[in-house]
A and B are shown apart, each in its own frame.
Chain A
Amino acid sequence: MIIVLHREIVIENRSLGSDIYRLVLKGAVAATARPGQFVHLQVGTTADPLLRRPFSIAGIDRPKGEITLYYRVAGRGTAQLTRVRPAETLSVIGPVGRGFTVPAAGELLLVAGGIGLFPLLALLEAVDRSAVKVKALWGGANRQFMEDVGRETLFQTGVDYAVATMDGSMGHPGVVTDLLKKVLAEKSAHGLAEATACGQGADAASAGGGSGVLADRPGGRTAFTVAACGPRGMLQAVAESCRQAGVPLEVSLEERMACGVGACLGCVCLVRTADGMLVRRRVCKDGPVFDGREVVWDETD
């Protein structure tokens, strides 16, 4: 029996600006957490607001036993969370869900929309950058947001990155999927097929650990893969671009949750399996990371 309910001690809970907070928790979750998993956190102790809130694990420090979360103040629950002080404890269910595949070789492209950056930070941290070439593409509203959030996260990691802002105040004016299209076009010009076939086989890759959704698919650990998180519309566009380019993709989905452990069927998405069947999956337990090629983005189709 794995016990997944913990009380974690708050080490830090601090504003980064732009309504984004950094929350560091010390406890048992760090020992087993993997990139792409999340925690289901109780923000208060009263019946209102009632439900737990899901937050991606953005950083895992096993030696210190700490995880880092970043949250945007979005409503009542997150507003209440800002008032939690260091040394207080929070009730946490986690780590929950199926995370990203951590490649052990080849190239990894991270595509993030806004706060969709957070789960990708954990993946970035987990991947061995001496063996895997990593690049990050990140889109957001404006320079203020990108600097407030990026200063202590992405921009510090030393990873090769490009940004896009909706108002054009930083990086490419427009959406992050423009950047993705550009990268994919360059890839295909330089022979993506060749790169994907360059023989970093599943054996080498499995050393990277993790049970991500691409792990059990032939070709899933090919040399060039994309991992994405962000608003649904953005993810749908990323999936379309990757499909056209024939690039394997993992996406981290968001859905309203109640239990967070797979019991209530509150958080489902629709998936088309390899044999063409339409099936329900629970975002909390079967995800939140899914094979981008399988997700059915529009149920009315």
Chain B
Amino acid sequence: MKPIDLTTQLAGLTLKNPVITASGTYGFGEEYAAFYDPSRLGAITVKGITPLPRRGNPPPRVVETPAGMLNAVGLENPGLEEFLTTCLPRLEKLKTPVIVNISGFSLDDYALMAAAMPEDSCIVAVEVNISCPNIKQGGLAFGTDPRSAEEVLRVTRKHTKLPLIAKLTPNVTDIVTLAKAVANGGADIISLINTLLGMRIDIKTRKPILGNIMGGLSGPAVLPVAVRMVYQVYKAVRLPIIGMGGISTWQDAIEFMLAGASAVSVGTANFVNPLAPVEIIDGLAGYCRQAGFTAVREIVGLAHQ
């Protein structure tokens, strides 16, 4: 039996399979090494980094919702310097391609972080999280305004040769406008979706549950929204897509690829089933074998035919 070709091309980046772990759900790669060898993955995406360390929001930071969860971690991270000196050497040991997720509150923040990422390490791409509030623009997210989004990518592009992934927020009226903007700005790859803004209230205390009041919705509940956005962006923009949002099984992953994703990211599902990413890798191969495909990339975008 000939093995199924699982390799994936994302712009200049080749991954041995299309399954990635999503930023913020996989720490810096070490925790899940207790369950399986992370080098089985196509790549791992690390928690969003900011120039300076951040203590993040007060607890509670997570709350369950119907078939999903809200999180308001508030970008807690060790900061750029600590990331480079402590986290990166440890990531190197995992023998897995690493995508670094960067977040900033000004254009300078993004420029600084892009420039600081070594081009000869396990880091294979920089994912630009544009869901953060733009301090200069009064806190409006970079990612909800096409001009700011384009500008962030343009500035980041100038400071690194690594492939650039623009990670889009779904909290917009028209995702295609944003996708076109980041493509113009110089993104090589688009990843979608980040979390959907939501909140929950405790009916006993009559107060919002999250310390930050609002948080980002993820998990199976958001899957159809994410599939729809991948479908729309695939139709409108020529860049490869990393699809994510509620992927828990190989069937979910196939659905995203049919919609147009060249790769998929697994986030919240890690919390429920730590083996989800490797089960998905195996499931993709099984599906292709059953359906008569020799390479998984053959199914990308088939729902558009």
Cα distance A47–B73 in the bound complex, in angstroms: 22
Q: Is B60 an interface residue (CB 8 A)?
A: yes
Cβ-defined partner of B66 (8 Å) among A48, A260, A267, A279: A48
Cα distance A5–B198 in the bound complex, in angstroms: 31
Contacting residues, chain A, for B47 (C-beta < 8 A) = 265
A94 to chain B, nearest CB (A): 11
Q: Is A209 an interface residue (CB 8 A)?
A: no
Q: Which residue of A is nearest B25, CB measured? A: A264
Binds A, one of B3-11, B51-59, B96-104, B106-114: B51-59
Cα distance A47–B63 in the bound complex, in angstroms: 15
Contacting residues, chain A, for B76 (C-beta < 8 A) = 265, 268, 280
Q: Is A274 an interface residue (CB 8 A)?
A: no
Contacting residues, chain A, for B71 (C-beta < 8 A) = 258, 264, 266
Contact A285 B219 (CB under 8 A): no
Cα distance A9–B37 in the bound complex, in angstroms: 26
Cα distance A280–B76 in the bound complex, in angstroms: 9
Cβ-defined partner of B62 (8 Å) among A1, A48, A257, A280: A257
Q: Is B31 an interface residue (CB 8 A)?
A: yes
Contacting residues, chain A, for B272 (C-beta < 8 A) = 42, 50-52
Contact with B along A261-284 (1 / 0, CB 8 A): 111111111100000001110000
Q: Is A207 an interface residue (CB 8 A)?
A: no
Total cross-chain contacts (CB, 8 A): 102
Contacting residues, chain B, for A168 (C-beta < 8 A) = none
Contact with B along A1-31 (1 / 0, CB 8 A): 1111100000000000000000000000000
Contact B31 A267 (CB under 8 A): no
Contacting residues, chain B, for A85 (C-beta < 8 A) = none
Q: Which residue of B is nearest A261, CB measured? A: B31
Contacting residues, chain B, for A52 (C-beta < 8 A) = 271-272
For chain A, residues 243 to 301, give those with C-beta under 8 angstroms from any C-beta of chain B: 255-270, 278-280, 285, 299
A112 to chain B, nearest CB (A): 23
Question: Residues of A within 8 Å of B, CB-based: how many?
Answer: 35
Cβ-defined partner of A255 (8 Å) among B56, B60, B64, B274: B60
Cα distance A96–B176 in the bound complex, in angstroms: 43
Cβ-defined partner of A47 (8 Å) among B32, B37, B220: B220
Contact B32 A256 (CB under 8 A): no
Contacting residues, chain A, for B26 (C-beta < 8 A) = 263
Contact B55 A262 (CB under 8 A): no
Cα distance A280–B58 in the bound complex, in angstroms: 10
Contacting residues, chain B, for A265 (C-beta < 8 A) = 24, 27, 47, 56, 61, 73, 76
Contact A51 B270 (CB under 8 A): no
Contact B64 A269 (CB under 8 A): no
Q: Is A199 an interface residue (CB 8 A)?
A: no
Contacting residues, chain B, for A266 (C-beta < 8 A) = 61-62, 71, 73
Cα distance A259–B35 in the bound complex, in angstroms: 13
Q: Is B69 an interface residue (CB 8 A)?
A: yes
Contacting residues, chain B, for A279 (C-beta < 8 A) = 55
For chain B, residues 284 to 302, give those with C-beta under 8 angstroms from any C-beta of chain A: none
Q: Is B248 an interface residue (CB 8 A)?
A: yes
Cα distance A255–B273 in the bound complex, in angstroms: 20
Contact A5 B275 (CB under 8 A): yes
Contact A4 B271 (CB under 8 A): no
Q: Is B201 an interface residue (CB 8 A)?
A: no
Contacting residues, chain A, for B1 (C-beta < 8 A) = none
Q: Is B13 an interface residue (CB 8 A)?
A: no
Cα distance A4–B67 in the bound complex, in angstroms: 25
Q: Is A33 an interface residue (CB 8 A)?
A: no
For chain A, residues 28 to 49, give those with C-beta under 8 angstroms from any C-beta of chain B: 42, 47-49
Contacting residues, chain A, for B275 (C-beta < 8 A) = 5
Contacting residues, chain B, for A121 (C-beta < 8 A) = none
Contact A4 B59 (CB under 8 A): no
Contact A260 B34 (CB under 8 A): no
Cα distance A261–B32 in the bound complex, in angstroms: 8
Cα distance A155–B64 in the bound complex, in angstroms: 36
Q: Is A93 an interface residue (CB 8 A)?
A: yes
Cβ-defined partner of A268 (8 Å) among B24, B35, B59, B219: B59
Cβ-defined partner of A261 (8 Å) among B56, B66, B220, B274: B274
Contacting residues, chain B, for A42 (C-beta < 8 A) = 272
Contacting residues, chain A, for B35 (C-beta < 8 A) = 3-5
Contact B248 A47 (CB under 8 A): yes
Contact of A260 with B271 at beta-carbon distance under 8 Å, contacts A4-B34, A47-B248, A280-B56 already known = yes
Cβ-defined partner of B34 (8 Å) among A256, A257, A261, A278: A261
Q: Is B135 an interface residue (CB 8 A)?
A: no
Contact with A along B27-42 (1 / 0, CB 8 A): 1000111110100000
Contact A259 B67 (CB under 8 A): no
Contact B27 A48 (CB under 8 A): no
Contact B27 A3 (CB under 8 A): no
Contact of A267 with B61 at beta-carbon distance under 8 Å, contacts A50-B219, A52-B272 already known = yes
Contacting residues, chain B, for A3 (C-beta < 8 A) = 34-35
Contact of A258 with B271 at beta-carbon distance under 8 Å, contacts A51-B64, A299-B58 already known = yes
Contact A264 B34 (CB under 8 A): no
Q: Which residue of A is nearest B35, CB measured? A: A5
New contact pairs (12) apart from A50-B272, A263-B270, A266-B71, CB-CB < 8 Å = A1-B37, A5-B35, A47-B248, A48-B66, A48-B67, A256-B60, A256-B62, A258-B271, A259-B270, A265-B27, A265-B47, A266-B61
- Top 3 A-B pairs ranked by shortest CB distance? A266-B62, A263-B27, A263-B31
A-B contacts, 6 of them at CB < 8 A, read A5-B274, A47-B220, A50-B272, A258-B271, A263-B25, A264-B71
